[in-house]
Amino acid sequence: MTGKNFLIVQHMEWEGPGQHLLAALQEAGAGFQVLRAWQEPVPPLDPFTGMIALGGSPNVDEEAAFPYLAALKAAIREAVASGKAYLGFCLGHQLLGHVLGCRVGPLPRKSVGFINGELTQEGLKHPVFEGLPARMRLFKWHGQGVLPPLPPGLHVLARSPGAMVEALGVAGNPRVLGLQFDNHVAARDVEQWLKHDRDWALADSGVDPEALTAAARAEEAAMGREFRRFFANFLRLAGT
């Protein structure tokens, strides 16, 4: 057991922690509590090592449509300011960027499916990517992103043709990270996402759903191994 305990923020009924994330948590013996953020208030953060925020349909500026976002942003600020660990995926990444002063908005093109990404020079030096390749496969499901340039004190850790800020980090605080990609999900999760979010994902993306599910199965083993390595690095950083 690691003794670490995370608050996992879920935004959508059908978009929970991915199978790779659940396996990595179980393998490490780390505890977690899932917050259904659209239904429940954010609990006190004191008992938690940190927050893991998942993706979802809201945009960061849609507080009128999704009122819970205001309290969640305040909790993210609190977590970062108090020295807790934070790992954001997709919307969780965008929310981190937003509260740290980044611009977040529509990308030139929706990014759905598997693409190639690469670590930047800052990413190659970041301990969370220790033991991982400089070029890696990324699973994408988004139309918005964090837009460069980043404010002082923030670094672009990874990029791709689909998003110039695939990962961001905070200078001097390696336990706070945002990832635009969703490598925590496995083939079973991709099938669920297609079932519930098919119309959005396929509209103007050029994605073939059968090819996407086949790719998810083909990528699953390698992506799972790399994700577990990444998450083991994150857990180590979360305790420093």
37-60 tens-digit pLDDT: 999 999 999 999 999 999 999 999
pLDDT, one tens digit per residue, over 155-205 is 999 999 999 999 999 999 999 999 999 999 999 999 999 999 999 999 989
Say whether pTM exceeds 0.85: yes
Range of the domain at 22: 5-238
Domain count, the chain: 1
Q: Which residue has the tokens 């991709």?
A: 190
Mean predicted lDDT score pLDDT of the chain: 97
In this structure, are residues 185 and 193 in contact, taking their beta carbons and an 8 Å threshold?
yes
Would you state the structure tokens that stand for residue 177, as one six-digit string? Answer: 């990270």
DSSP 123-192: HHH-GGGTTS-SEEEEEEEEEEEEESSPPTTEEEEEEETTEEEEEEEETTEEEEEEESS-TT--HHHHHH
Q: Where are the beta strands (DSSP E) in the chain?
A: 5-10, 31-36, 50-53, 85-89, 103-119, 135-147, 154-160, 163-170, 173-179
Would you state the structure tokens that stand for residue 218, as one six-digit string? Answer: 């083909």
pLDDT, one tens digit per residue, over 4-46 is 999 999 999 999 999 999 999 999 999 999 999 999 999 999 9
In this structure, are residues 132 and 234 in contact, taking their beta carbons and an 8 Å threshold?
no
Indicate which CATH number applies to the domain containing 128.
3.40.50.880
